[in-house]
Chain A
Amino acid sequence: MSTPGETGTEAWPLWEVFIRANRGLSHVHAGSLHAPDAEMALRNARDLYTRRNEGVSIWVAPATAFTTSDPDQKGAFFESPAGKNYRHAIYYTRAEGVKHL
């Protein structure tokens, strides 16, 4: 990761921001932002993404820490589940006497 200010033209590194709107919900990707370090990224996220009461918790992580699926390989990667009905457990009959299912 580059150190801002080293060359005078260095941009701040990119961070991914996750916001949790309420207790009981998951953190959801809100967007990304630039910041010199993690602490400042958290504060920038507070200013950018929670100024209208959107969240109760924020996670930030360096964008470089994410490994993502390749959009061009979408077809093969997310192979069609058509004809694989067995993946959906809706054809099984429930055994007698099983409760709470």
Chain B
Amino acid sequence: MSADHGLLDAHGEVSVDETVLSDEMLGTGRVAEPEVAEYAMRLGDDALILSQQLSWWVSRAPELEEDIALGNIALDLLGHARALLHFAGTATGRSEDDLAYWRDEPEFRNCWLVEQPGTDFGDMIARQLYFSAYQTQLYAALLSSGDPSIAAIAGKAEREVRYHLDHAVQWVLRLAGGTDESRERVIVSLNDMWPYVEELFADDALTESLEGIAARPSSLRAGFDETVGAVLAQAEIETPAAKPAMAGGRQGRHSTLLGYILAELQWLARRHPGAKW
């Protein structure tokens, strides 16, 4: 680190013990085919952006225990993002950090759901319910992917996202069955997030070309509807009927929201290239 940045100097020499992060890096040692890399980037970007969004809650959750729960989920997702982006980067000789820090909005392939604001507890929980219900179906299907790296990453992620789903389900039930206000607010949140569900299950040329390697998005819908339907039925909430949003995240078309998320995610790496701590 160069010495001319007063802000960082104020903290003196910062060092942490070396952390073993290699356990997160599953399915390494192979070079991804371009189409498989593009697919891995979609999954990795979803995980990265949602992880960044959830880490906003660290120090802001209603109780310390929930703070830790959300931090754990964010870190699980970051682990998935690292493995997936590492693998995606092998196709073009880029590292996971190159992909996370040095791409701009149009190069990101994440869905719109993970970009949606979740600084209201109900919004965040609704987003978690829909997204982890989708990911549970996704990674269960990818366990038998024809690509060994994708299958290995799915093997770890599948167990973790099932817990994320459980966490979200528990909260939806409690908010729906809590006070009049909590019920009213979580219903609004569930409706507000609903338009972004459709994009998760849209097939396109890429997923068609990766038959046997990718999970066909439309094939995951029935399991999602069953999971979410059961939770909403138990909470005595009607399934939202809002029309799908004009989302185009898989093609790099994003809402303005992503720019703000990336600004916070990327500024340090861009301001101090190669910085270590």
A residues contacting B by CB (< 8 A) are 5-6, 11-12, 33-37, 39-40, 43-44, 47-48, 51
Contact = CB atoms under 8 A, between A and B. Distances in A.
A12 B63 contact: yes
B167 A43 contact: yes
B15 interface: no
**For the complex, would chain B's binding face be called helix, strand, loop or mixed by DSSP majority?**
helix
Contact of B65 (A5, A35, A39, A51): A35
B226 interface: no
Contact of B63 (A34, A37, A51): A34
Contacts of A51: 72
Contact of A5 (B66, B68, B167, B182): B182
B256 interface: no
A5 B185 CA distance: 13
A39 B174 CA distance: 11
B69 interface: yes
A79 B233 CA distance: 59
Contacts of A12: 63, 65
Given A36-B174, A40-B174, A47 B65 contact: yes
Interface residues of B, number: 14
Nearest to B178: A5
Given A34-B63, A36-B174, A6 B72 contact: no
A53 B262 CA distance: 33
A81 to B, nearest CB: 41
A60 B182 CA distance: 26
Interface string B44-66: 00000000000000000001111
B72 A47 contact: yes
A76 to B, nearest CB: 38
Contacts of B72: 47, 51
